[in-house]
Amino acid sequence: MKKRTYTDHSIASSDITPEHIFLNRRGLIKASAGTIAGALATPSTALSEASAQSALSFRADSDRSLVDEQTPYEAVTTYNNFYEFGTDKSDPARHAHAMTTHPWTVKVGGLVDQPGSLHLEDVLSGFDLEERIYRFRCVEAWSMVVPWVGFPLAELLRRFEPKSEGKFVEFKTLYRRGEMRGTRSFTSIIDWPYREGLRMDEAMHPLTLVAVGLYGKTLPNQNGAPLRLVVPWKYGFKSIKSIVEINVTAEQPQTSWQMLQPSEYGFYANVNPEVDHPRWSQRFERKLPSSIFKPNRVPTLPFNGYEEQVAGLYHGMDLRKFY
């Protein structure tokens, strides 16, 4: 595979926070914060995680990448929703290191002609990796811009030859109680494992990515190592992390948030400023990093800014009904 470095003229390398600065800053804070009784501990394990990531080789895909300022690595890897490790944003960075990601196998089955398994090694060597800089919009009204490294989901699915009856694709996250403290919380009302799904045409769309890395390196556990989905025009919860199972199905699969609260989370979950979450508005988002004096509140775009590429998938559908 040809190795090319990523050279997007729009993003200065100075925009990216170098890791050593991040490390230093944290060290200083930790040194001085010792005396305060800590109801709120600092997410410091993220550090060792981050430096443990190995470099990936990939090519830039500027066509589908975004010309936008990227969210610093620190923010992307310390502010996560990964409820298997706790519901606080800093819980995944603190606790996801407990997850074993080697060896890792993804079972692919359901309505496919060639059911089978995919080992992580096959994934890393068998697909051409490319960098895609995507907007990432959480249903909680915050957003980031992330340089992912991955390959189109369509390429993976084609290898297993989906049957024509296959209309949907179902995904499941690893569920390992011993390593995932959030799944042991008995006040949690999520039915594990975490599940997500896409319609076949959404799954085959060129924007739909299987990510194995970010910022040029393998994914940290808290971001869904070793491989996750990224569907940039949908709310973040659709972009399921740490995938162990993929099934092609005829019926629309059940998805975790929809099972939990169907009035608040739909199957489609396309980013849509016109359709509010019942408990908060979706018209604006806080583009992280945000501060209290400069909240960085920006209007949310239809389909998270990917309207031109994906609106056609939903022709004739009432997006208020199919939210």
Which residues would be at the binding site for other proteins (CB under 8 A)?
25, 29, 32-33, 36-37, 39-40, 42-43, 71-72, 74-75, 78-79, 83, 87, 89-90, 142, 185, 187-190, 260-261, 276, 278-281, 284, 286, 288-292, 295, 297
Between 53 and 90, name the residue whose CB sits nearer to other proteins. 90
CB of 196 to other proteins, least distance (A): 15
Between 7 and 291, name the residue whose CB sits nearer to other proteins. 291
Tell me the CA distances in angstroms from 22 to 28, 55, 75, 136, 319, one per residue in order: 10, 18, 10, 22, 42
Taking every pair of C-alpha atoms in the chain, what is the biggest distance, in angstroms?
63
Please give the torsion angle defined by the CA atoms of residues 126, 129, 135 and 139, in that order, rounded to the nearest 10 degrees: 20
Two structure tokens written together for 62: 């500027």
CB of 40 to other proteins, least distance (A): 7
CB of 214 to other proteins, least distance (A): 15
Cβ atoms of 273 and 280 closer than 8 Å? no
DSSP for 71-106 reads PPHHHHHHS---GGG-SSTTHHHHHGGGS--SS-EE
The whole-angstrom separation of Cα 180 and Cα 133 is 29
CB of 142 to other proteins, least distance (A): 6
Cβ atoms of 169 and 249 closer than 8 Å? yes
CB of 141 to other proteins, least distance (A): 8
CB of 79 to other proteins, least distance (A): 5
Which one, of 303, 309, 297, lies nearest residue 323 by Cα?
Answer: 303
Between 28 and 317, name the residue whose CB sits nearer to other proteins. 28
